[in-house]
Amino acid sequence: MKTITPFLWFEKDAEEAAKYYVSLFPNSRVTMTSPMMVNFTLDGQDFMALNGGPQYKFTPAISMFVSCENQEEVDRYWEKLSADPESEQCGWCTDKYGLSWQIIPKQFMELVSDSDPKKSKAVMDAMLKMKKLIVADLQAAHDGK
């Protein structure tokens, strides 16, 4: 079976970034380094990264989606990954390397998927006003409070 591996283009800090990401996520490790490339695994997902120079920059058009178990996980990842407050919106943040992340509590996905369209819309409307997602506030919106 073929695998699909995300390939990330960094200007010059691919190994530093990989080591940083590996320090944040469980079941993660750097698997290969060379002057130009680094391979690493984040919680079972393989990545490749290149020191490719300044020609290309990351944009929010692609992001890493992190499904969090609870508010504590959201807070922990947000604290470590959010380095550009101007880019924060709706659970998305940008790290010090310019890579976008979505730090999303699993409760959001459950609440926004409610079969009641009014409740689902209330959750979506609440999320659109947030930077970091707050589970209690999403639940309150769902419950009409």
Please, what are the domains in the chain? 1-56 (3.10.180.10), 58-145 (3.10.180.10)
Write the single-letter amino acid at 131: K
Average model confidence (pLDDT) for the chain? 96
Structure tokens at 43: 């919680």
Is the model's pTM score more than 0.85?
A: yes
Count of CB atoms situated within 10 Å of the CB of 31: 14
- 58-90: pLDDT as tens digits: 999 999 999 999 999 999 999 999 998 888 999
Which structure tokens are listed for 74? 């959201």
> Rounded CA gap, 135 and 120, in Å?
14
